Every structure is written in C-alpha cells, then in structure tokens.
C-alpha cells in the first residue's frame, strides 16, 4: 500500500574531468562512479538530502581516473563497498594500493543493493572490463551507459524500457576532426573502444524501447569536441528524422561538469 515511490538519478558531475551519478529509490541510494573528490560527493549528498548512511556502495563502470579518483578517500571516510567487474577491481587496487576487502566482484547477472536491483552489462571501452548498468526500483528502471565506443544490440536491450537514462554524448565528429587533439587521441575517441558521438546517442534514443515520459541526461560531454547546443541540435535531428521527438517522446537534460542535474521517474513525483 501507499504511494508509489519515485526513482531519482542525479548526475553530480559529468565530463572528462570527473563523473559521479547518484541513483535513489525509497530509502537507499547507490553511487555510480566516483571520479570527483569525496568532499564534493559528500556536499552533493547533503544538498540532495541523501543520508550518507543510505548509500549502499559505489558501482564502478571502469578504472579510468575520471570515474575513480574519489574512491580511496570515500573508502577511508565511509567504508562504502566498491562493486565492479573483477578486471576493474584489480586495476583500481593496483592503482591505489587498496585491500581486497574493500571490493565486491560483480560475478552474477544481478545484485540486490538496498531497495534496488542492479544489473551490469558489458560495454566497449579501452579499459580492463568496462560495464554499464541498469538499476531497478519497483517498476522503474534507470540505466547508466557512458564510455563506450559503440552501442550494440546486447547493450540496447539493457537500455530498453529505461524510464531514466544517463547516456553518453561525448563528441561531435566534425569538432573532433578539426579540434585540438593529437591524431592518436582523435582515433581513440572515435574508435570502437572510445566514446559515443552525439549522432550515436541520438540513434540509441531512436532504437531503444522507450517507456512513456522517459528522461535522459546526455552525459560525459567533451569540453573540447562538443557543446550543449551541438548535442541538442544533433539529437533533435537524429531522432526527429525517425519520428521520435524531444519533449514528446523523451525529455532531454545535459550533464554538467560542476552542476548537479536530477531526473525523477514520471508519474511518481513527490
């Protein structure tokens, strides 16, 4: 009985300088990546009114610094367990010299964390064992998919039916091509183990099974090879040409390096 509870997803920070996302449902929360300082994460939780004791742990998508920089201090301060694939755990432990007891390997297809169920899935990125993940709370689904060079059918099936989605729109191919990066780095970003372009993100929104009133945060935007206007215009164009429309079929938000952006599952607003 009682009111349906909303699920909330907050991009605390998004971009190549640091990523951290908080997913809340009922009285528990999980952090997805912690690539910013423990101080900033603590401050964000206070601002959001999320008790630090409600945080079940940190789910890490992969070991690049912009996703893990805050982890040693967060472990020290709060003792939150860190969940990831075994290859990722190994890489983080090696990098920061952390004991095995701080980590839990995601070896099964799902994991219960507080009031949520987490379902990791493989992505394609130049890291040890990169993953995206979906989080289920009641009938609501939230998915985080960033840092992947492409989105294949298997990934799309995990994105399907996400009421809340954090989706990478890293670069504009023209801006990358004529931008300041060295040729090797350009190749890496655009390659199959790099990042998702605005066009590719738009195609995900077209191809996925979209629930009614879905919200998406376009995330991990490059500061050099992209900007909010270009993301908006490109996603608008890519989706509209397939009969899918911003504001009608989905609501679009933009992750920011230094400002929090929250999306709340629709029809269940508090």
Name which position in 33, 63, 66, 238 contacts Zn ion (CB under 5 A): 66
Paired tokens of 151:
């989105």
Specify the residue, 64 or 203, whose C-beta has the smaller distance to Zn ion: 64
Specify the residue, 66 or 172, whose C-beta has the smaller distance to Zn ion: 66
Q: Which stretch binds Zn ion (CB under 5 A): 7-15, 84-92, 146-154, 206-214?
A: 146-154
Write down the least CB distance from residue 44 to Zn ion, Å.
18
DSSP letter, residue 4: P
Q: Which stretch binds Zn ion (CB under 5 A): 7-15, 66-74, 113-121, 224-232?
A: 66-74
Residue 17 and residue 67 in contact, taking contact as beta carbons nearer than 8 Å: no
Phi/psi of residue 16, nearest 5 degrees:
-70, -10
Specify the residue, 115 or 143, whose C-beta has the smaller distance to Zn ion: 143
Specify the residue, 62 or 203, whose C-beta has the smaller distance to Zn ion: 62
Confirm or reject binding of residue 172 to Zn ion (CB under 5 A): no
Query: Residue 113: which residues within 8 A CB-CB, separation 6 or more?
Result: 28, 30, 56, 57, 83
Count interface residues toward Zn ion (CB under 5 A).
Answer: 3
Q: Which stretch binds Zn ion (CB under 5 A): 87-95, 139-147, 160-168, 240-248?
A: 139-147
Longest Cα pair distance anywhere in the chain, in angstroms? 58
Name which position in 64, 85, 186, 254 contacts Zn ion (CB under 5 A): 64
Write down the least CB distance from residue 226 to Zn ion, Å.
14
Confirm or reject binding of residue 147 to Zn ion (CB under 5 A): yes
Residue nearest to Zn ion (CB): 64
3-class DSSP string for 212-246: CCEEEEEECCCCCCCCHHHHHHHHHHHHHCCCCCE
- The enclosing H or E element of 23 equals strand 20-25
Q: Which stretch binds Zn ion (CB under 5 A): 75-83, 140-148, 177-185, 239-247?
A: 140-148
Which residue, 144, 115, 135, is CA-closest to 56?
A: 115
Distance CA 208, CA 214 (A): 11
Residue 17 and residue 257 in contact, taking contact as beta carbons nearer than 8 Å: yes
Write down the least CB distance from residue 128 to Zn ion, Å.
11
Write down the least CB distance from residue 125 to Zn ion, Å.
5
Write down the least CB distance from residue 228 to Zn ion, Å.
18
Q: Which stretch binds Zn ion (CB under 5 A): 6-14, 59-67, 92-100, 178-186?
A: 59-67
State the residues that interact with Zn ion by CB under 5 A: 64, 66, 147
């Amino acid at each position: 009985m009682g009111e349906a509870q909303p699920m909330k997803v907050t991009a605390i920070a998004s971009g190549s300088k640091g990523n951290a996302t908080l997913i809340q449902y009922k009285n528990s929360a999980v952090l997805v990546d912690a690539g910013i300082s423990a101080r900033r994460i603590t401050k964000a939780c206070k601002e959001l009114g999320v008790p630090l004791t409600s945080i079940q742990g940190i789910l890490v998508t992969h070991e690049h610094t912009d996703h893990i920089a805050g982890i040693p201090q967060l472990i020290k301060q709060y003792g939150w367990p860190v969940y990831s694939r075994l290859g990722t755990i190994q890489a983080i432990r090696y990098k920061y010299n952390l004991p095995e007891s701080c980590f839990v390997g995601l070896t099964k297809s799902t994991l219960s964390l507080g009031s949520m169920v987490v379902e990791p899935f493989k992505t394609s990125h130049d890291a040890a064992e990169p993953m995206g993940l979906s989080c289920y709370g009641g009938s609501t689904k939230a998915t985080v998919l960033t840092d992947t060079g492409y989105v294949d059918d298997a990934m799309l099936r995990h994105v399907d039916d996400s009421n809340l989605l954090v989706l990478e729109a890293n670069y504009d191919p023209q801006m990358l091509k004529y931008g300041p990066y060295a040729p090797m780095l350009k190749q890496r970003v655009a390659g199959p183990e790099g990042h998702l372009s605005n066009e590719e993100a738009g195609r995900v929104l077209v191809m996925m099974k979209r629930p009614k009133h879905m919200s998406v945060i376009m995330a991990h935007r490059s500061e050099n090879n992209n900007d909010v206007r270009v993301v908006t215009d490109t996603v608008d164009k890519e989706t509209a040409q397939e009969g899918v429309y911003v504001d009608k079929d989905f609501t679009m938000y933009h992750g920011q390096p230094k400002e929090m952006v929250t999306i709340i599952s629709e029809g269940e607003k508090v």
